[in-house]
Amino acid sequence: MTKLHVAIGAVTGVTGGPATYARELVSALAALDDATLELSVLTDRPDLLGDTTRVRVLHLPLRSPWAQPWWDNAAVPWALRRLAPDVYHGTKHALPLAGLSRRIGAVVTIHDLAVMAEPDTFARAQRVQLAVHLRHAARRADRVICVSRHAARDVEERLGVAADRITVVPHGISPRFAPIADAARRRAIRRRWAPEGAHLVSFVGTAQPRKRVEVAVQAIERLRGEGMPVVLVIAGRRRPGYEPSWMSTPPACVRLAGELSPEELVELYAASDLMVSPSSFEGFGLTFAEAMACGCPVVGVDATSVPEVVGDGGVLVERPEPALVARAIAGLLRDPAARAEVAARARARGLEFSWERAARRTLEVYRAVARGAP
């Protein structure tokens, strides 16, 4: 079979779903037993890519998240002129606005259109940047990859992309996300975060307006007011400029863990009674899948992509309201048998997400684009 040279733009130094996606996809593609695939990766953080023995890596530094437009529109075209690949894959919503030769096939992953659905949850500069790049990428891309059916419908309806130019490729989950069988170890982890006898509930994700973290905080405060001993651990980075009062002066029932390593995240998920995320908009909902893979039941909102990701591995509420979320959490915490049953279903659901499967499906997209297939 003819050789296929693919260049992948992978911004991995900014914590979040797109960074995890880029990092894991590169690793999974490199691990495929396919001698015809030649991979080049343009990245801001080569040190975060793991084993790159089968990958050509070009380091394109990114000074800050605000420099992303420069990275996409200056650094990437410069690198592509050097590499002359058959296909370029922008893994974070964007393709270069200029300088991407028509001889190079173009693939873009659009994770979500939250900026269009909930514009007030983004800073003005982000709204402008994303609006320009999303619309350009939708026009220029030979194929658009979406990480959920919901995201695909959104891209079709809001950006006018024909359905035959969209391919749905769900995220995978790293095998490291798995239950911890050692009960003594789980107890030791729980003691780091919650006093003896208290329930441990976690929230994992970037603290930003659309994640509705304040709803989880208020739900836990409500349960504490009803006499239920419960602690909420919030793990993840805070989006620059987002400074809610509950973060500056956290309630007594809240622990702020900050950014955790993948190993620490596995421990938190595996030791938690459940993971709650009242997010009002998700392109996929990677933390739901990670938690479920660790055997941790989840509580979320029945909206956007969350139902298709969670399946029967958790409890979904109609709206991100503290009373509804508190009721769902209490239902699982007060019934250990029901919680164990949901945890088993969560683990089974989490195992359905595979990065190898995602890599093989993405490689099919690259080959179709290189052939000029519709």
pTM for the whole structure = 0.90
CA distance 111 to 91: 9
- How far apart are the C-alpha atoms of 239 and 151, rounded to whole Å? 22
**CATH superfamily of the 4-172+354-371 domain:** Glycogen Phosphorylase B; (3.40.50.2000)
Q: How confident is the model at residue 68 (pLDDT cuts 50, 70, 90)?
A: confident
Q: 183-350 adopts what CATH topology?
A: Rossmann fold (3.40.50)
pLDDT of 1 above 70: no
Residue 374, pLDDT above cutoff 70 = no
Return the domain boundaries, the chain.
4-172+354-371, 183-350
pLDDT tens digit sequence for 315-331? 999 999 999 999 999 99
What pLDDT is attached to residue 373?
62
Q: Quick one: which of 262, 118, 103 has its CA closest to 176? A: 262
Question: What distance in Å separates the CA atoms of residue 232 and residue 282, rounded to the nearest whole number?
Answer: 21
Please give the average per-residue pLDDT across 12-40, as a whole number.
91
Please give the Cα distance from 242 to 248 (Å, whole number): 11
Q: Measure CA 177 to chain center.
A: 14
